[in-house]
Amino acid sequence: MNQLSDRINNLATSATLAMAAKARELRAEGKDIIGLSLGEPDFNTPDFIKEAAIEAINQNYNSYTPVDGYVELKEAIIKKFKRDNNLNYTLPQIVVSTGAKQSLANIAAVMLNPGDEVILPCPYWVSYSDIVKLSDGVPIEVETSIENDFKMTAEQLEAAITPKTKMIWYSSPCNPSGSVYSKAELRALADVLKKHPNIYVVSDEIYEHINFKGGHFSMAEFEDMKDRTVTVNGVSKAFAMTGWRIGYIGAPDWIARACNKMQGQMTSGANCIAQRAVITALEADPSRIKYMVDEFKERRKLILNLLSEIEGFKTNEPEGAFYVFPNVSSYFGKTIKGKTINNATDFSLFLLEEALVATVTGEAFGNKDCIRISYAASQNEIIEAIKRIKTALS
């Protein structure tokens, strides 16, 4: 008999991690799988950051850390917010966590009561929906269109608001669509929220630096939104530090205090060595990580060109992050190599089994017509992967 709680029984397994596990299984069988499913830079953490970590070990940073992070790190975060985002936060408004994922889990836990609705423009990052559900919130998916670059409009937001709406969560640049909300687009959303003063916003800016056009804007930069917005960020993506597990928030101080309290009972402060290394990462001028962004930009151009040669793929032009999110619905209902493709999940599995390329179904991101392809892989791997996809589909 299943003795587990409803909470865990109702929780979906992260689709990106599930796909990576399936790819690993096939690799173990000797298959040469190209992995384009994970949201992880394929670069090493820059040496100047690694050196800071080694120094921290040698300086005996080994004790429990303050629950909300070392003061020196929080000061570096405050300077970063000021330098990159024109945001002024004070020490009590910053909480450092074990990855932005924990930052988000904290926010859900401290903000949501059972039945509270959280508006998620689709496609959204894979974990938003289940993090919200874990805290008894109700995700409300707002479908966007490729024609509008997968962004939620003010009208769509207005229509989705109910008396139960508590929050809106979005990422910009967006995982999985790569879309970046402009200042004007955010202002239009903020104008809707003027009429609804009890709705709070989570602005997930973890891909901030991986922006090919420039012009990153934070919702909290609007004076009327600052007290209603939690700005989430972290070092996983831009600094190639996924395994170091450091994320952070800038928030109204009552929310930050609550996250601190929650974290104090769940995990305590984040890892000591990683925190010391992140001080160095955040104090560095963003030009030191530009070589990675430049390479992602080259790969984006490459993959968009290659995809345009495949019939039936319709793709927006991502402005940031390192994903493309093509609509592949023109293949639905077709049988290829004896396999019938009825939806994006079938399509993604078809690519894994027949092209030996791992991608992720759009269904994991709340979109049933698209798949996510990560281009955090070498240019040679991208060329080979798209060649295989083309062959498998022809």
Ligand X SMILES: Cc1ncc(COP(=O)(O)O)c(C=O)c1O
Write out the residues near ligand X by the rule CB under 6 A: 39, 99-101, 125, 171, 175, 204, 206, 234, 236, 242, 247
Query: What DSSP element (H or E) covers 34?
Result: strand 34-35
Least distance in angstroms from the C-beta of 170 to ligand X: 9
Residues 6+ apart with CB under 8 A from 295: 43
Pick 351 or 376: Cβ nearer ligand X:
376
Q: Which residues of 300-323 are buried (b: 16+ CB within 10 A; e: fewer)?
A: beebbebbeeeeebebbebbbbbb
CA atoms of 4 and 62, how far apart (whole Å): 36
Which is nearer to ligand X, 132 or 393 (by Cβ)?
132
CB of 175 to ligand X, least distance (A): 4
CA distance 93 to 74: 9
Of 350 and 359, CB closest to ligand X: 359
Query: Within the chain, what is the greatest distance between any pair of CA atoms?
Result: 62
Residue 127 or 348 with smaller CB distance to ligand X: 127
Q: Compute how many other C-beta atoms are within 10 angstroms of the C-beta atom of residue 181.
A: 26
Distance of closest approach, residue 203 Cβ to ligand X, in angstroms: 11
- Residue of minimal CB distance from ligand X? 99
CB of 43 to ligand X, least distance (A): 15
Of the pair 267, 329, the CB lying nearest ligand X is at 267
Both tokens of 247, joined, read 């994320």
Smallest distance from ligand X to CB 364, Å? 12
**Cβ contact 96:245 at 8 Å:** no
Query: Which tokens is 232 given?
Result: 């989430």
Question: How many other CB atoms sit within 10 Å of the CB of residue 335?
Answer: 9
Give the residue with the Cβ less far from ligand X, 129 or 171.
171
State how far the Cα of 168 lies from the Cα of 199, in Å rounded to an integer: 7
Shortest Cβ 124–ligand X spacing (Å): 8
